[in-house]
Structures are given as C-alpha cells and as structure tokens.
Amino acid sequence: MSLSSYASEALSSLSDAQLTFLQGLPKAELHAHLNGSIPLDVLQEMARDYISAHSSDLIPVSGVVQKGVENLTKGVVLNEIHDFFGLFPAIYALTSSPATVAKAARAVLESFLDGSSPQCTYMELRSTPRATDLMDRHGYLQAVLGEVERYPAGQAALIVSIDRRMDEAIAEECVNLAITLKQQRRRVVGIDLCGDPLAGDLQRFVKHFQKAKSCGLGVTVHIAETADNPASETDDLLRAFAPSRLGHATFLDQEAMRIVFEKDIAVEICLTSNLLCKTVQSLEDHHIRFYLERNHAIAICTDDQLPFRTNLTAEYALLLAKPPLGLGLTQDEVKKIAAMSLSRRFSQ
Ligand code: 6MZ
C-alpha cells in the first residue's frame, strides 16, 4: 500500500543503518483499532467476496462498499476529524460475521507481528464488539480473541473498546463481557473509550469504567482529541474514569496536564493520524514535544494504519528523521521512547 507523504518522506530520508535500527528496536503497538488497521489488499479481497455474495440483493448495499473501498484505495483526504468516522460503514459491512471478523483480525495481527521484520514485538489490538444478524457481541469477541491467542501472551492481547455513541446498556454489556473473559483467563487486558470525539454524554459510562478497573482491567480513554472537547469533560475523564493511559490527549489545558503528570498517566501518540485529521497542524506544533521535554511516558502508535496509510516503523521514522520531515531525535532518545511503550502495557 502506498504510504502517506508524511510516512514515506520520513522513511526515505533515513539511511539504511537508521532503518535497520528502527526495524530491530523492541517496541509495543498500544493503540491500533482493528477495523481501521486491515491491510488494503485483504480489505479489497473481502470487498470482492462481499460483492459477489450480495449480487442478487434487492437493496444494493454493494455500491456503498465498493465506493468506500475505492476511496480507501485512492487514499482518503480528510478535511476534518469528523469525516474520518464516515469511512467505517463500508468497512463494517465487510466484517459482519465471525468468519470475516476473524479474517480481518488475523490479517491485522500478521501485519504487525509476522514476517522477517515485524512492526512491533508486542501488540494490544483494540476493537468495539458489534452485534449483527450473524453474531452477537460475545461471538464478535470470541472471533477476535481466537486470533489474538494464536500468539504467545508476551506478543498479543486485546482491549475492548466502548464507543461514545453506544447506549448505556450496550456499553455495560461490553464491559461485562470484557470482565467475564478476563476472569476466564482469555487475553483481554483493558477497555477503551473511543468513537466520534464529540458524541454522547460520558457520565452514563462512569460506573461501568470504574467496575472494569476494579476487576483488574486496564483503562485507556480517547481524550481531548479536538479543540471542541470541553475542559469539564476532560476533567471528568481524568478524575472519574481514572485511566492509566490516554489516547491522543491533544487539547489538554494546564489543570489536565497537572493531573496527567501527578498521576503519571501515559499518552498514546499517533502522529500521522493527528496530522491527517488536522487536529495538529504540523509536527512542529505537535504536543509530543511537550511530553518529550518533560520526559513523560508516551507510546508511539499507528491508530488506523489503513486510512492513515502508515505503519509503526514509519511513525518511528517521524521521530528520527531530520526536521521538517521529522523531529530529529537521536537513536538513544528513540530507543528510550520504544522502551516506554513496552513498560506501559496493560498487565495480563
Ligand atoms: C476515536 C477512533 C479513532 O473498534 O471497529 N476509532 N475513535 N478517534 C480515532 N482517531 C482518529 N480511530 C478509530 O475500529 C474502528 C472504530 O474505532 C474508533 C471508531 O469508533 C471506529 O468506528 P473497531 O475495530
């Protein structure tokens, strides 16, 4: 798949020795959404299967799928972060049965963990349980876990995502499934709050997140992803949800920062995602600099390698490449950042 200009320019500016260094660096991918990480060739194959299986349907859903996959193939241009969520109906049509969810999960895990130069040494894949005509949410999680557990515990685990758009009852069901599966010693290590950053009232989820935490699940939340997220919501997320990791954390105010430092909450950083969603204007302005200056724990992550046309090696290349293509960090600094990602895995 062709990479975004950010990823490809940073990668091609590196020497062979720098590339070898990045590829051999032990690192963890802690923030990757399953349905946003399906390799393009696998998605295209799934679309072909879907279209041939649905050719006689009265309602031509195949058109939506075809258009969606064509857009992803061309490389989507997002005017703003809200455009991003419109990509998922087409992808979700392709991953609506246990077999297709498993196929997608296998392809994602293989793209990160297999081959002669895997993207990472450990991966916490995350996904939102979905119920369709062909599966319930438990069936969804069984299908994903079946693939995660093909790898040793030291290599792969699952985070269950709760979408901000969910009804409270569905969020509760997802949290309870995560807890039960953990108690059954399945490879679920945490829960996540994700979805359209401005959707939903989060108060209705508080007690469910607290229950998950008290049952030993790690908690991570997408927080302050846009400039429009109110400070009061960010404050609630930090205090009531008590996360040990944060996704994006792009627009934290001073008080929020104070809590992040005081509680030593790690930040999952997704550079290309932020640039393409235009929540950050340039690498020069990226909040990663603030955390680096203070030696605060971060983990470099891909978010959604399919629409953002990146991979974990490219995200690390953005650290190493000289400005303006990258941050111009030294190999020792990058090594330290990679070690931070491994140290912030959720416990099993
Ligand atoms: C917020 C995001 C996201 O769970 O179906 N998702 N939520 N911010 C982001 N950054 C731009 N990227 C992905 O994977 C897809 C779902 O993950 C969430 C969205 O809810 C999306 O529908 P799963 O496997």
pLDDT value at position 59? 62
Residue positions annotated with a catalytic role: 225
> Which class does domain 5-37+118-344 fall in?
alpha beta
Q: How far is the CA of 199 from the centre of ligand 1 (A)?
A: 13
Q: Name which residue sits closest to atom 7 of ligand 1, judged by CA.
A: 195
Per-residue confidence (pLDDT) for residue 64, from 0 to 100: 80
Alpha helices in the chain (DSSP H): 5-12, 16-24, 40-53, 62-74, 81-84, 88-94, 98-113, 137-148, 168-183, 206-214, 231-240, 254-262, 271-276, 288-293, 312-320, 331-343
Ligand 1 atom at minimum distance from 197 CA: 1
Confidence of residue 77 (pLDDT cuts 50, 70, 90): confident
Ligand 1 centre to CA of 40 (Å) is 17
Average pLDDT of every residue of the chain: 95
What is the per-residue pLDDT for 60?
A: 63
The answer, yes or no, to whether any atom of ligand 1 lies below 6 A from the CB of 250, is no
In the numeric block, which tokens belong to residue 120?
């990472």
Strand-pair category, 298-300 with 266-269: parallel
Q: How far is the CA of 18 from the centre of ligand 1 (A)?
A: 31
Inform me whether the pLDDT recorded for 250 exceeds 80. Answer: yes
How much is the pLDDT for 21?
97
Average pLDDT over residues 127-151: 98
pTM of the model as a whole? 0.97
Residue 36 Cβ contacting ligand 1 at under 6 Å = yes
| CB 341 within 8 Å of CB 312 | no
Please name every residue paired with 293 in a beta bridge, in sequence order, or none if there are none.
none
- Quote the CA–CA distance of 243 and 218 in Å, as a whole number: 8
How large is the average pLDDT for residues 159-163?
98
Can you give the pLDDT at residue 66?
Answer: 85
pLDDT at position 238 over 90: yes
Place of tokens 């196929």: 103
pLDDT value, residue 330? 98
Please, are residues 283 and 324 in contact by the beta-carbon 8 Å criterion?
Answer: yes
Is there a contact between 138 and 130 (Cβ–Cβ < 8 Å)? no
The ligand 1 atom nearest the CA atom of 270:
10
> Which tens digits make up the pLDDT trace of 12-28?
999 999 999 999 999 99
pLDDT at 55: 72
pLDDT tens readout for residues 26-68: 999 999 999 999 999 999 999 999 988 887 666 666 778 888 8
Q: Is the pLDDT confidence value at 178 over 80?
A: yes
Nearest ligand 1 atom to the CA of 88 is 22
* Domain ranges (residues) in the chain: 5-37+118-344
Tokens for 158?
Answer: 């699952």
Mutate to test the pocket of ligand 1, among 161, 228, 269 (most ligand atoms within 8 A of CB): 161
Q: What is the pLDDT of residue 113?
A: 98
